[in-house]
Amino acid sequence: MSRSAVREIQIAGVSVNRGEVLVPTQIGDPVHGLLSCHAAPLVAGSLQAKGQRTRLGELPRCDSPSGEFDARLFLVTCPQQDGSTAAIAAAVTPGDALSAATARAAVEEWAGACGTRTLLAASSPWCTGALHAASAARQAAADYHGSGRTVHVLAPVAIPAETASALADLGAVITSSLADVAPGDVVVFPAHGVTAEMRTEAMHRGATVIDGTCPLVAAAQTAASRTADLGHQLVLVAQADQAATAPIMSHAPGHVTVVETPAKTAALRVADSQHVSYLMQPGITLEAGAPIRSALRSRYPAMKTAVPADVCYAPSDRAGTVYSVALGSDLMLVLGDPLAADTRRLCAQARDSGTKVHVVSDTSDIRPPLLAGVQTIGLAESTSAPAGLAAQVTTALSGLGRLAVARRRLSTDKTAATLA
């Protein structure tokens, strides 16, 4: 849109303080009727970044029938995917020239970012195991609500924000320790499991345990324990900072070595190359684990897998989805805490496609220059993303013109082998 597309309207019936910019979330326009202002958080974010005091609010009407006016409104409109019209606007009090200049500039800047786009969204960041554990925690909190027994959900790492909110409403406690667990309390184990020591402590405290450990993680823990019982050394192909690593290692104390990269296999020392096994930790992608496994087999040909059980495909499916979305996009938005490990991992996967990546922890993190020349926007959620952020970003972007939303998910289907 051009600069001339911005209309300046004198309006009555609204109060705006001097030094303040009112960013409408909805406008009653005599020409177009009721206008949504979905991009209001974007406009407010730009103004706040420039040190401008802002306020979000509705404008029931944007005309001045009596000829008297209380505010100046800067307004542009743009078409929506459903055929309706949306507005991008900002209002200031009359005589406040500085705020007026800032408000008009913000509206013009976002008007220039308007256009027809596609939003390509990756699937949920939560695997089946995590969702199952979250469901178990919510059910436990509901079942014991009002019973006088406190429900403790062990979750030292991120859990779905919606689950955290529901648990808080039901009085459950999200914690990383058992220090406050009293006899008769309920303890819910997370999908990534807990250490053997913590499991024993929960029993000694007389707690009722609800085990939400992912079956694949539980199988890995059992395999680690079995390997230690045989006196064999176990090489755990994993990332040391992943949540499931310590719980698996605790089931084979003194028998486990974590290897994170193919290069680190060179430093591996084993007492007996005939009695060494490896285990692929659930949570590591097959693509990351395969070269490590190859390097291990090259050094120790007699090495066996510790568990011939099912494979965790969720990390590879998620990584493939993120890469695919980024590859098909001009810009990739990764939602979440920029310091969180999962956010950094998603960014690395997206950057492998060569696409520009931007981390968004709040809708206001999106700026007009970021969208210049962008036709397709990719979107992926980190496990650290606040509840509702993806919907908020999608809604805000829809306020910049026609926005088609598509969702992509890569998944691995397992079928039984058939013999000819």
Angle between the 97-111 and 40-49 helix axes, to the nearest 10 degrees?
130
Of 188, 194, 184, nearest to 210 by C-alpha is 188
- Asked if residue 322 is part of any domain, the answer here is yes
**For position 402, which CATH number holds?**
3.40.1010.20
Using the predicted structure, report yes or no on whether residue 29 has a pLDDT greater than 80: no
Of the listed ranges 79-83, 310-314, 339-343, 369-373, the one predicted with least confidence: 310-314
Residues 153 and 67 in one domain: no
- Whether 281 has a pLDDT exceeding 70, the answer reads yes
d(CA 107, CA 74): 7
Average pLDDT, the chain: 90
Backbone angles phi, psi at 26, to 5 degrees: -160, 145
Between residues 172 and 309, which one has the greater pLDDT? 172
Token pair, residue 305, equals 């897998």
The CA–CA distances, whole Å, from 392 to 42, 146, 238, 386 equal 10, 34, 35, 10
Mean pLDDT of the region 78-103: 93
What is the DSSP track for 51-115?
T-EEEEEEES----TTS--SEEEEEEEEE-TTS-EEEEEEEE-TT-HHHHHHHHHHHHHHHTT--
> What's the whole-number mean pLDDT along residues 59-74?
76
Confidence grade of residue 419 (pLDDT, cut at 50, 70, 90): low
pLDDT computed for residue 3 by the predictor: 43
Measure CA of the first residue to CA of the last residue in the chain; give whole Å. 64
Chain centroid to Cα 343, Å, comes to 7
The answer, yes or no, to whether residue 102 has pLDDT greater than 90, is yes
Give the pLDDT confidence score for residue 217 in this predicted structure. Answer: 93
Do 91 and 157 belong to one domain?
no
Name the one residue in this structure whose structure tokens are 């309390």: 185
Same domain for 31 and 66, yes or no, is yes
Which amino acid appears at position 42 of this protein?
L
Task: Identify whether residues 199 and 250 lie together within a single domain.
Answer: no
Please, which pLDDT band fits residue 2 given cuts at 50, 70 and 90?
very low
Provide the percentage of residues in the chain whose pLDDT is more than 90: 66
Q: Are strands 256-259 and 71-79 parallel, antiparallel or unpaired?
A: unpaired
Helices 161-169 and 128-144: angle between axes, nearest 10 degrees: 10
Is 418 within a domain?
A: no
Final residue in a domain of this structure, among 173, 193, 215: 215
With contact defined as beta carbons under 8 Å apart, do 164 and 129 qualify? Answer: no
pLDDT of 267 reads 86
Contact 350, 378 (CB under 8 A): yes
From the number of C-beta atoms within 10 Å of its C-beta (0-12, 13-18, 19+), residue 400 rates as buried
Q: Specify if 42 maps to a domain.
A: yes
Asked if 278 contacts 234 with a C-beta cutoff of 8 angstroms, the reply is yes
Please tell me whether residues 139 and 89 are part of one structural domain: no
Residue recorded with tokens 């310091």? 339
Q: Is the pLDDT confidence value at 375 over 60?
A: yes
The total of structural domains in the chain comes to 4
Pair (9, 93) in one structural domain = yes
Whether residue 224 sits in one domain with residue 204: no
Q: Are residues 146 and 197 in the same domain?
A: yes
Question: Whole domain around residue 192: which residue ranges?
Answer: 128-215
Q: What length is written for the chain? A: 420
Q: Across residues 375-393, what is the average pLDDT?
A: 94
Q: What is the mean pLDDT of residues 184-190?
A: 95
Q: Is the pLDDT of residue 85 over 60?
A: yes
Residue 4's pLDDT band (boundaries 50, 70, 90)?
Answer: very low
Q: Measuring CA to CA, how many Å separate 24 from each of 41, 87, 115, 274, 402?
A: 10, 9, 20, 71, 20
Going from the C-alpha of 62 to that of each of 84, 308, 360, the distances in angstroms are 18, 69, 33
Lowest mean pLDDT among 63-72, 99-108, 290-299, 400-409: 63-72
- pLDDT (tens digit per residue) in 251-261: 999 999 999 99
Under 8 Å between Cβ of 25 and 57: yes
Q: 75 and 105, same structural domain? A: yes
* Distance from C-alpha of 197 to C-alpha of 228, rounded to nearest angstrom: 16
Please give the structure tokens belonging to residue 293. Answer: 């496994």
Q: Specify whether 253 is located in the same domain as 354.
A: no
pLDDT score of 61: 75
Buried b (16+ CB within 10 A) or exposed e, 334-373: bbbbeebbbbbbbbebbeebebbbbbbbebbbbbbeebee
Residue finishing a domain among 167, 200, 215: 215
Q: For residue 164, give the CATH number of its domain.
A: 3.40.50.11270
Of 356 and 14, the structure prediction assigns the larger pLDDT to 356
420 vs 28, which has greater pLDDT?
Answer: 28
Question: Is residue 303 predicted with pLDDT exceeding 60?
Answer: yes
Is pLDDT of 324 > 90?
Answer: yes
Tens digit of each residue's pLDDT (9 = 90 or more) over 326-343: 999 999 999 999 999 899
Query: What would the mean pLDDT of 166-185 be, rounded to a whole number?
Result: 92
* 171 and 90 share one domain: no
User: Which pLDDT does position 310 carry in this prediction?
Assistant: 67
Helix axes 215-229, 128-144, angle to 10 degrees: 100
Q: Contact, 186 vs 164, CB < 8 A?
A: no
The pLDDT tens digits of the residues spanning 209-228 come to: 999 999 999 999 999 999 99
> Whole-angstrom Cα distance, residue 19 to residue 50?
13
Please give the pLDDT value at position 309: 57
pLDDT in tens, 348-370: 999 999 999 999 999 999 999 99
Name the burial class of residue 61, with classes exposed (0-12), middle (13-18) and buried (19+) by CB atoms within 10 angstroms of its CB.
middle
pLDDT at 247 over 90: yes
- pLDDT band at 418; cut points 50, 70, 90: low
What is the rounded average pLDDT of the residues 126-149? 91
Averaged pLDDT for residues 169-182: 92
> Do 214 and 293 form a contact (C-beta atoms < 8 A)?
no
